[in-house]
Amino acid sequence: MHIPDNYLSPATCGTLLLAVTPIWTVSVLKVKAQIKTKRETIPMMGVTAALAFLIMMFNVPIPGGTTAHAVGGTLLAVLIGPWAACLSLSVTLLLQALLFGDGGVIAFGANVLNMAVIMPFVGYAFYRLGQRLGHERIGLAVGAYVGICTAALAAGVELGLQPLLFHTASGQPLYCPYGLNITVPAMLLAHVLVAGWVEAGFTLVVFHFVKQVMPQSLYQAPLTGAQPLGLRYWGYLLVGLACLSPLGLLARGTAWGEWSTSELHQRIGLVPQGMHHGFNFKALFADYSLPGLPTAASYLLAAATVLLICLLVVRASQHDQKD
């Protein structure tokens, strides 16, 4: 679901970045207010950002030779609140783009809209509805499933509009070469049939784990600065996921719509002009790999890097709270 650079026009990327900017602004204001009564919010944002990153490392095969993955958007919204989840997921997407080349740099706003705005807010709405009806876990599962499918639909629409809006005088697409009749079914089917169920299942498992060992980490719980965060349990969960992350390599193939220009050329026999001459950013750990290291070792190193960043954020936030 990570839209790479040059699949969307610069105008589309700029418009979507502008669209999410006020949402970031409101999120910051909401989180500042939340911190006054739930001081654990800041370290939990670091923890959940790492959790989302690790979740997205577990690719699953999709019929047709592509792959997809869960995101954890609804799970984060339930754990720390939808506004804080928006910021945490935005940080995760930024790290993925800058360090690992997963998702575009100029397409950052589009990916944030889909995975850090639409997914957690839609999912959280269904979760709250389930709570009110007395079926919390059903609401959570439905929210996780509908949230990721809605985000996939948005990505499909963004990609599919490109040939209609941006093309040469002869009608050749400048960016994503596939129209809505292809992008929407391709994105939706992958998530409706496979990734949505993985998202719902993973969300329920982690939610049950949290409820059992650290219920105070839930957004709805009456948190106070005196209550423990259960960071030891979070550490166990994150390290366990990091160690298992190479399992995500078992699913072969590239996610639909995330092909490199060479892969796209193999598929359709050409590379649209806007993509061929577009923005080219070289990430430090492009494709989660390092020259000279086995793929599995590189994957583990990527997971460890994010865990280290998470640890630094948690430590810094705890130090600030003591001050």
Give me the pLDDT at residue 177, please.
95
Q: Domain 10-322: give its CATH code.
A: 1.10.1760.20
* pLDDT above 90 (res 317): no
Least reliable range by pLDDT among 120-129, 144-153, 251-260, 284-293: 284-293
* pLDDT above 60 (res 322): no
Nearest to 195 by CA among 146, 263, 259, 125: 146
Q: Bigger pLDDT: 94 or 286?
A: 94
- Reported as a pLDDT band with limits 50, 70 and 90, residue 229 is low
Q: Bigger pLDDT: 272 or 234?
A: 272
The answer to whether 104 and 6 are in contact (CB under 8 A) is: yes
Beta bridge partners of 59: 69
Give me the pLDDT at residue 51, please.
94
69-73 average pLDDT score: 95
Give me the pLDDT at residue 184, please.
97
Structural domain spans, the chain: 10-322
The answer to whether 112 and 140 are in contact (CB under 8 A) is: no
pTM score > 0.75 for this model?
yes
Q: Bigger pLDDT: 18 or 1?
A: 18
Give me the pLDDT at residue 288, please.
86
* pLDDT above 80 (res 226): no
Instruction: Using the structure block, give the residue that is written with the tokens 């360090």.
Output: 99
Q: What percent of the chain has pLDDT over 70?
A: 93
Give me the pLDDT at residue 223, please.
44
Q: Rounded distance, CA 119 to CA 72, Å?
A: 9
C-alpha pair distances (Å), 7 with each of 1, 35, 50, 108, 293: 12, 38, 27, 12, 30
Least reliable range by pLDDT among 96-105, 217-226, 269-278: 217-226
Give me the pLDDT at residue 224, please.
44
**64: number of Cβ within 10 Å:** 10
